[in-house]
């Protein structure tokens, strides 16, 4: 069984964010981490590997520094890693990103593809389902539990205030929630092994099944008119009151702000 896990290096927004003049994130200037939903998806794949002996390949599209994140995934237990990087792919929206990632996935053997539900730098939850659309695969989103049964997967997926249990034949694509599991830590041995492994690097020219009209900023139908960091308007107010007084105080504040 071959599992491809699509992961993304995202800015650690705890330190604030910066933007380029064209409205895209200035990723090169910020600390980077593995996207939390993607990390849960990787852990799910590794647990399937532990149970079935599956091969796990991690794939990312990003800057060359994403090599560090791929090494982290290898140290956690992934078998192979692929980095898709090329200046011509920069500034991509979800459509251009999914087109590129799908073209890369086509070069790999896969029975199951796992992505995170969404990335914390965009929160669109679009790329995973779009990859499935490009590959003509069924997709199960918002997964909180994944089990493999023969040539099928059984997924418990979150849906509003309830759950669905869905069964699908492989190949298929699953988008994972960070609540799916608690990702494992890297081991010292895994870290040493990770830096002995080769990360496969592909550029635009390696992806023959890709139309230039669908890549990078120029191939992105989404255009950002303006982007800015969140500005804090005040330090806030802390009060200590009994429950009844607290309710009255909050109601008065809301009336002052014309919220109610």
CA dihedral 223, 4, 142, 187 (to 10 degrees): -110
CA dihedral 206, 207, 210, 215 (to 10 degrees): -80
Higher pLDDT, 201 or 256: 201
Q: Is residue 257 part of a domain?
A: no
Q: Is residue 232 part of a domain?
A: no
Q: Is residue 33 part of a domain?
A: yes
Cα separation, 228 vs 213, whole angstroms: 28
pLDDT of residue 69: 96
Q: Is residue 160 part of a domain?
A: yes
pTM over 0.85: no
Q: Is the pLDDT of residue 115 over 80?
A: yes
Q: Is the pLDDT of residue 77 over 90?
A: yes
Q: Is the pLDDT of residue 20 over 80?
A: no
Q: Taking residues 109-116, what's their average pLDDT? A: 97
pLDDT of residue 233: 67
pLDDT of residue 141: 96
β 200-202/152-159 pair status: unpaired
For residue range 200-240, what is the model confidence (pLDDT) as tens digits?
A: 999 999 999 888 888 888 888 887 777 666 666 666 788 88
Cα separation, 31 vs 17, whole angstroms: 10
pLDDT of residue 231: 64
Q: Is residue 38 part of a domain?
A: yes
Q: Is the pLDDT of residue 107 over 90?
A: yes
Q: How many domains does the chain have?
A: 1
pLDDT class of 6 with cuts at 50, 70, 90: very high
The H or E element that residue 10 is part of is strand 9-11
For residue range 116-163, what is the model confidence (pLDDT) as tens digits?
A: 999 988 888 899 999 999 999 999 999 999 999 999 999 999 988 899
Domain coverage including residue 80:
2-214
Q: Is the pLDDT of residue 184 over 90?
A: yes
Say which CATH number the domain at 55 has: 3.40.50.620
pLDDT of residue 79: 96
Mean of pLDDT over the chain:
90
Q: Is residue 137 part of a domain?
A: yes
Q: Is residue 219 part of a domain?
A: no
Q: Is residue 253 part of a domain?
A: no
Q: Taking residues 68-93, what's their average pLDDT? A: 95
For the record, the structure tokens of 168 come out as 């699908």
Task: Determine whether 6 is exposed, middle or buried from the number of CB atoms within 10 Å of its CB (0-12, 13-18, 19+).
Answer: buried
């Amino acid at each position: 069984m071959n599992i491809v896990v699509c992961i993304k290096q995202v800015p650690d927004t705890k330190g604030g964010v910066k933007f380029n003049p064209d409205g895209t994130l200035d990723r090169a200037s910020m600390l980077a981490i593995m996207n939390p939903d993607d990390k849960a998806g990787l852990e799910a794949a590794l647990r399937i590997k532990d149970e079935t002996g599956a091969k796990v390949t991690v794939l990312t599209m990003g800057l060359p520094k994403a090599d560090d994140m791929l090494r982290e995934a290898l140290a956690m237990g992934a078998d192979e890693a692929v980095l898709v990087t090329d200046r011509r792919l920069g500034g991509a929206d979800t459509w251009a990103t999914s087109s590129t990632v799908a073209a890369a996935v086509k070069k790999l053997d896969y029975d199951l593809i796992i992505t995170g539900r969404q990335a914390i730098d965009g929160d669109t939850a679009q790329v995973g389902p779009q990859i499935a659309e490009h590959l003509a695969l069924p997709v199960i989103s918002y997964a909180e539990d994944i089990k493999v049964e023969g040539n099928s997967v059984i997924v418990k997926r979150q849906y509003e205030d309830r759950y669905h249990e869905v069964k699908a034949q492989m190949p298929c694509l699953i988008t994972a929630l960070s609540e799916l599991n608690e990702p494992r830590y890297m081991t010292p041995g895994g870290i040493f092994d990770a830096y002995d492994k080769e990360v496969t690097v592909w550029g635009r020219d390696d992806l023959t099944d890709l139309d230039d009209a669908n890549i990078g900023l120029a191939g992105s139908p989404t255009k950002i008119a303006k982007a800015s960091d969140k500005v804090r308007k005040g330090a806030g107010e802390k009060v200590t009151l009994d429950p009844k007084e607290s309710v009255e105080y909050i109601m008065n504040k809301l009336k002052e702000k014309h919220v109610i």
